[in-house]
């Protein structure tokens, strides 16, 4: 099956590469592990005046949010570090481990999440990058730090793959500011991403999700779980069997099953027909309502589709998925950016913290910072290994 999102992504990467080649004189390359990992910067003055206006209009609010961002930044750093250590332990102790980190690319099916389409990816990445870098600039302007440039960036793994943005403050002026102001600038990007995630998360779960439930029709019901010591567990029914009828009444969706069970009393006989067999059970007492019958089963829809009788349903569900991905990407990328690695904001936050604890002793701070960076890189490699191993096996399979 053709992966159209992957094709769009490849075309996008090729176009980016062509644009960079033709504009190479205006570009700057930050060599991380060149030519494997590198960052391409295209400098402009976009947004700098807007950053200045906002910083001057809301100075107290920005200062408050900046200091709050420091607290959230350190908490996020702890959460990410703990999560990667826990994931690394699971990789060593389980037989079929999943990757703790992965590259966020369109066309991929990440376990537990809906498929990420190219357009949802590009919209979410654009919002993520603009909010992140604009916030750095606003807080920097609040403390009188000159913004030398802003612009577009592309993170590259051999080829350009992840579009981004950047704000370039005057590092000499920034270094002269007190530690709280420096930390506020560094933490502003991730903190803003988490605020965006909070906003879009609330919109998704409390507004869009309830509406979308009426726009989707379910087709088929399957067993996904059974409670011990209840009738269906004892009947011999298996997980993933499809329930077709109850007492000769067709069951096409989960609500059909629920509505039938509302009229069942404890002790009633129930005939359940599935796609593989039939089961006769006696209803037991419902654990929360002694007047109702209960069989102890967890169900899920086999297939869902958009209702044809509501013309705007497909558009609404597409927008709902857009909001979902903006929420997810801002949350997880914002958190990951707090990892204390040199190329991330978390690394700069961590280094400023070391300088504070060691009374600006750069020798000690740099030594510990290098050790922590080695640990961070090692953690990332461990967490990425299951995914990398999959790629290696697929690559070898092409020649076997």
The stretch 290-318 carries a mean pLDDT of 82
Question: Confidence band (pLDDT; 50, 70, 90) for 12?
Answer: confident
Q: Please state the pTM of the whole predicted model.
A: 0.78
Q: Nearest CA to 247 among 258, 234, 260, 238?
A: 260
Tokens of residue 42, six digits: 């295209």
Write out pLDDT tens, residues 333-378: 999 999 999 888 999 999 999 999 999 999 999 999 999 999 999 9
What pLDDT sits at residue 221? Answer: 86
How far apart are alpha carbons 114 and 91 in whole angstroms?
A: 24
Higher pLDDT, 80 or 1: 80
What pLDDT sits at residue 220? Answer: 80
* Residue 395 pLDDT exceeds 80: no
Which range has the worst mean pLDDT, 118-132, 214-228, 269-283, 357-371? Answer: 214-228
Give the three-state DSSP class for 274.
Answer: strand
Which strand (E) or helix (H) includes residue 122?
A: helix 118-142
Residue 137 backbone dihedrals phi, psi, to 5 degrees: -65, -40
Question: Confidence band (pLDDT; 50, 70, 90) for 109?
Answer: low
What pLDDT sits at residue 394? Answer: 67
- Say which residue the tokens 């499809």 belong to: 242
Q: Which residues contact residue 85 at a Cβ distance below 8 angstroms, ignoring those fewer than 6 apart? A: 379
* The CATH fold of domain 228-295: Pdz3 Domain (2.30.42)
Residue 15 backbone dihedrals phi, psi, to 5 degrees: -60, -45
How far apart are alpha carbons 398 and 400 in whole angstroms?
A: 6
The stretch 134-141 carries a mean pLDDT of 96
Write out pLDDT tens, residues 319-332: 999 999 999 999 99
How far apart are alpha carbons 145 and 55 in whole angstroms?
A: 11
What pLDDT sits at residue 400? Answer: 56
* Residue 48 pLDDT exceeds 70: yes
Residues 98 and 111: beta-carbon distance below 8 Å: yes
CA 39-117-30 angle, to 5 degrees, is 0
Residues 165 and 132: beta-carbon distance below 8 Å: yes
Domain positions in the chain: 4-212+314-397, 228-295
Give the three-state DSSP class for 263.
Answer: coil
Q: Work out the percent of the chain whose per-residue pLDDT is above 90.
A: 49
Mean pLDDT of all residues in the chain? 88
Residues 224 and 302: beta-carbon distance below 8 Å: no
What pLDDT sits at residue 40? Answer: 83
Which strand (E) or helix (H) includes residue 220?
A: strand 216-226
What pLDDT sits at residue 371? Answer: 96
* Residue 14 pLDDT exceeds 80: yes
What pLDDT sits at residue 206? Answer: 94
Higher pLDDT, 273 or 300: 273
Question: Confidence band (pLDDT; 50, 70, 90) for 306?
Answer: confident
Q: Nearest CA to 365 among 344, 350, 343, 378?
A: 350
Assign residue 96 a region (left: φ > 0; alpha: ψ between -120 and 50; beta: otherwise). beta
Residues 162 and 155: beta-carbon distance below 8 Å: yes
Give the three-state DSSP class for 244.
Answer: strand
Other CB atoms within a 10 A radius of the CB of residue 159 amount to 12
* Residue 273 pLDDT exceeds 80: yes
The stretch 226-238 carries a mean pLDDT of 86
Q: Cα dihedral sign for 236, 238, 239, 245?
A: negative
Write out pLDDT tens, residues 195-209: 999 999 999 999 998
Higher pLDDT, 43 or 159: 43
- Say which residue the tokens 């070898």 belong to: 396
Other CB atoms within a 10 A radius of the CB of residue 315 amount to 10
Q: Nearest CA to 186 among 344, 57, 370, 360?
A: 344
User: Distance from CA of residue 59 to its chain's centroid?
Assistant: 31
What pLDDT sits at residue 96? Answer: 67
* Residue 110 pLDDT exceeds 80: no
CA 209-210-213 angle, to 5 degrees, is 85
């Amino acid at each position: 099956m053709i992966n159209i999102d992957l094709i769009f992504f490849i075309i996008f990467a090729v176009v980016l590469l062509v644009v960079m080649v033709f504009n190479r004189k205006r570009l700057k390359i930050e060599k991380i592990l060149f030519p494997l990992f590198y960052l391409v910067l295209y400098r402009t003055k976009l947004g700098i005046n807007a950053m200045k206006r906002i910083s001057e209009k809301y100075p107290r609010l920005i200062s408050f949010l900046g200091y709050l961002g420091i607290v959230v930044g350190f908490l996020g750093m702890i959460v990410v570090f703990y999560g990667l250590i826990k994931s690394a332990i699971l990789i060593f102790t389980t037989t079929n481990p999943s990757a703790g980190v992965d590259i966020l690319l369109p066309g991929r099916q990440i376990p537990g999440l809906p498929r990420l389409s190219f357009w949802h990816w590009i919209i979410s990445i654009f919002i993520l990058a603009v909010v992140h870098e604009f916030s750095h600039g606003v807080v920097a302007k609040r403390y009188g730090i000159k913004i030398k440039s802003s612009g577009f960036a592309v993170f590259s793994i051999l080829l350009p793959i992840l579009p981004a943005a950047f704000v370039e403050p005057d590092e000499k002026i920034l270094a002269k500011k007190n530690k709280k102001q420096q930390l506020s600038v560094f933490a502003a990007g991730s903190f803003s991403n988490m605020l965006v995630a909070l906003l879009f998360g609330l919109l998704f779960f409390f507004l869009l999700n309830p509406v979308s439930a009426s726009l989707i029709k379910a087709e088929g019901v399957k067993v996904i779980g059974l409670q011990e010591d209840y009738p269906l567990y004892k009947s011999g029914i298996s997980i993933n069997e499809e329930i077709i009828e109850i007492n000769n009444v067709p069951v096409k969706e989960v609500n059909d099953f629920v509505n039938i069970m509302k009229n069942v009393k404890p002790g009633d006989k129930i005939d359940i027909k599935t796609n593989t067999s039939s089961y006769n059970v006696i209803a037991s007492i419902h654990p929360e309502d002694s007047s109702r019958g209960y069989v102890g089963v967890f169900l899920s829809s086999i297939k869902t589709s958009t209702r044809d009788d509501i013309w705007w349903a497909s558009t609404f569900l597409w927008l709902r998925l857009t909001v979902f991905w903006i929420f997810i990407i801002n949350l997880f990328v914002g958190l990951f950016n707090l990892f204390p690695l040199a190329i991330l904001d978390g690394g700069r936050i961590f280094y400023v913290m070391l300088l504070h604890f060691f009374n600006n002793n750069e020798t000690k701070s740099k030594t510990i910072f290098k050790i922590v960076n080695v640990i961070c890189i090692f953690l990332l490699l461990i967490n990425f290994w299951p995914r990398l191993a999959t790629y290696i096996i697929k690559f070898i399979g092409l020649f076997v």
